[in-house]
Amino acid sequence: MHPDLERLISLQRLDTAAHEAERRLADEPERETALEARLTSARQEVAAAKERLAENQNARRAIEKDVAMHQGRLSKFREQAMAVKTNQEYHAIQKEIGFAQGEIKTLEDAVLERMLEADELTSALKRAEAALASEQKAIDADRKAMAAEHAELHASLEQLRAERAEIVRTLDPHALRIFEQVSKKRHGVAVAEARDGICTICHVRLRPQVFNTIRKNEEIIQCDHCNRILYFVRTPAQPATDAVTQPAQ
Ligand SMILES: [Zn+2]
């Protein structure tokens, strides 16, 4: 293979790796935002569960206040009942006592209902808190992995830049100029494999004599269509696997 073509292939490999590393680095803020959103959502679940429990407790306290109010009335009626003079007064007071007792019974049932609901809401809060704790743990691990990857990506970029500089130093300036121009125009991909008579990136069919020249890998040839520098990969001969086996008679 032409030494400059070999260098150009290496240069492309380095640029592609560097591009990928840069893309991962550029994605970091978005990944961090996604982690933060997960945490926020878990925190909101806990806050909502606390809110529901607080509402339940407020409702229970309000009912208990009503119970106390009716109990106050009840004891007042009982005192009055001792002081009644007539049967008529006595029956009237008994009616009031019966009514207050009925109210208290209804309200106490409502308190019981709220207490049962509170048990459920307390378990729901515990579940939400456990989910938040486990989410926090998972996110801490993700952040740690991201920080490690961040350092690795920077180290690998530095390494790739050093290797690139070394190749550029020995590469023919004209070949480098072609590479840089095409790379700029073609989103960082200046080199393409030619296979089965086509450019594998833009898929344009190459003229047979051009493809034959490319197969030798002895010249720097660009694709007519996308201008990428083309090379050919010699593959080991395919074993004959296409023989059709006859089904047994
Ligand atoms: Zn092409």
Taking the centre of ligand 1 as the mean of its atom positions, its distance from the CA of residue 234, in whole angstroms, is: 19
pTM: 0.74
pLDDT tens digits in sequence order for the chain, 249 residues long:
999 999 999 999 999 999 999 999 999 999 999 999 999 999 999 999 999 999 999 999 999 999 999 999 999 999 999 999 999 999 999 999 999 999 999 999 999 999 999 999 999 999 999 999 999 999 999 999 999 999 999 999 999 999 999 999 999 999 999 999 999 999 999 999 999 999 999 999 999 999 999 999 999 999 999 999 999 998 876 454 444 444 444
Question: How far does the centroid of ligand 1 lie from the alpha carbon of residue 182, in Å?
Answer: 11
Contacts of 200 (CB under 8 A, 6+ apart): 192, 193, 194
Cα-based distances in Å from 127 to 34, 47, 139? 22, 12, 18
| Cα 172 to Cα 35: distance, rounded to the nearest angstrom | 47
Task: State the distance from the centre of ligand 1 to the C-alpha of 203, rounded, in angstroms.
Answer: 6
Task: Give the C-alpha separation, 45 to 32, whole Å.
Answer: 20
Q: Say how many Å lie between the CA of residue 202 and the centre of ligand 1.
A: 4
Ligand 1 geometric centre to CA of 214 (Å): 13
Residues with CB under 5 A from ligand 1 (ion): 199, 202, 223, 225-226
Interatomic CA distance for residues 10 and 22, integer angstroms = 18
